[in-house]
């Protein structure tokens, strides 16, 4: 049985919300041979009348994570569970393909492969990742504040730069709450 850590930001997590989250996310257990050993982390938040739910399920060889925004919290919960289900099916399909290529028995994940084949063309397109553009540029040494200003001037959501203090590649990004974040490599 899955263990949950449910946290709310600008929102009180009521018993009905907790039960709904556990019921919906709990349906994902059918995809696991053994349930994840660690807790399922659920963050619920409200900013400017927009409900956000983030669900993270750490597993042995995989980290499942999905985030969804909606004006209705219950709709956001349903959407995030759908997203997680697609991720699980995608992963199991890849694992099944790998086993078939290595000559493993055909019955491994056979039922899940049938479900994956029955998905709509839209969901199939989620499986294909196509890189349509490549950019190359020199990284200018600067501090994180200057990088944030450069990012704002360009109108981007992130900016890659060389940190002048550490001489390492860093990324500054704009968070959904309007503040800034820094990723250090």
CB under 8 Å to 151, separation ≥6 — which residues?
Answer: 157, 158, 159, 172, 173, 174
pLDDT score, position 20: 93
pTM, full prediction: 0.54
What number is the average pLDDT over the span 55-74?
Answer: 84
Whether residues 89 and 38 fall in one domain: yes
Mean pLDDT in residue range 11-21: 91
Task: For residues 151 and 42, give the distance between their C-alpha atoms in angstroms, rounded to a whole number.
Answer: 30
Residue 118: the pLDDT is 54
pLDDT given for residue 44 in this prediction: 92
Assigned domain for 132 exists: no
- Same domain, yes or no, for 97 and 75? yes
In a domain, 97, yes or no: yes
The string of DSSP letters for 92-114 reads: HHHHHHHHHHTT--TTTTHHHHH
Query: How would residue 23 be classed by pLDDT, with cut points 50, 70 and 90?
Result: very high
pLDDT tens digit sequence for 122-131: 444 555 678 8
Structure-block tokens of residue 18:
């907790």
| Domain contains 10 | yes
- The answer to whether residues 149 and 119 belong to one domain is no
pLDDT of residue 15: 92
Q: Could you tell me the residue range of the domain that residue 37 belongs to? A: 4-127
Q: For residues 151 and 171, what is the distance between their CA atoms, to the nearest angstrom?
A: 10
Of the listed ranges 3-17, 22-36, 68-82, 138-152, the one predicted with least confidence:
22-36
Residues 8 and 96 in one domain: yes
Mean pLDDT of 152-180: 88
Pairing of strands 169-174, 63-70: unpaired
CATH number at residue 53: 3.30.160.100
CATH of the domain at 148: 3.30.505.50
Same domain flag for 28 and 113: yes
Give the number of C-alpha atoms closer than 13 A to the C-alpha of residue 40, restricted to the C-beta side. 25
> Is the pLDDT score of 103 beyond 60?
no
pLDDT at 173: 93
Per-residue pLDDT of 137-161, as tens digits, reads: 778 788 888 888 888 777 788 889 9
* Same domain (yes/no): 60, 145: no
**How many alpha carbons fall within 13 Å on the CB side of residue 155?**
0
- Residues 35 and 104 both lie in one domain: yes
Place of tokens 């850590």: 5
Residue 90 sits in the same domain as residue 44:
yes
* In a shared domain, residues 122 and 147: no
The answer to whether residues 105 and 149 belong to one domain is no
Are residue 118 and residue 145 in the same domain, yes or no? Answer: no
DSSP string of 30-64? Answer: GG-SS--SSPEEEEEEEETTEEEEEEEEE-SS-EE
Question: How many domains would you assign to the chain?
Answer: 2
Looking at the fold, whether 64 and 152 belong to one and the same domain comes out as no
pLDDT at 34 > cutoff 70: no
- Residue 160: helix, strand or coil by DSSP? strand
How many other β-carbons are positioned within 10 Å of the β-carbon of residue 25? Answer: 21
């Amino acid at each position: 049985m899955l263990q949950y850590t449910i946290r709310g930001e600008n929102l009180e997590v009521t018993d009905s919300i907790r039960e709904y989250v556990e019921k919906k996310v709990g349906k994902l257990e059918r995809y696991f041979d053994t349930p994840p050993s660690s807790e399922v982390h659920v963050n619920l938040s409200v900013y400017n009348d927009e409900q956000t739910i983030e669900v993270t399920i750490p597993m042995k060889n995989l980290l499942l994570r999905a985030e969804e925004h909606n004006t209705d919290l219950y709709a956001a919960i349903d959407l995030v569970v759908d997203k997680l289900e697609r991720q699980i099916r995608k992963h199991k399909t890849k694992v099944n393909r790998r086993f078939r290529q290595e000559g493993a028995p055909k019955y491994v994940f056979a039922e899940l492969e049938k479900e994956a084949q029955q998905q709509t063309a839209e969901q199939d397109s989620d499986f294909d990742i196509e890189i349509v553009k490549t950019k190359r540029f020199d990284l200018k040494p600067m501090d994180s504040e200057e990088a944030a200003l450069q990012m704002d001037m360009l109108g981007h959501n992130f900016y890659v730069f060389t940190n002048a203090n550490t001489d390492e590649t860093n990324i500054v990004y704009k968070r959904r709450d309007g503040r800034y974040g820094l990723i250090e490599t």
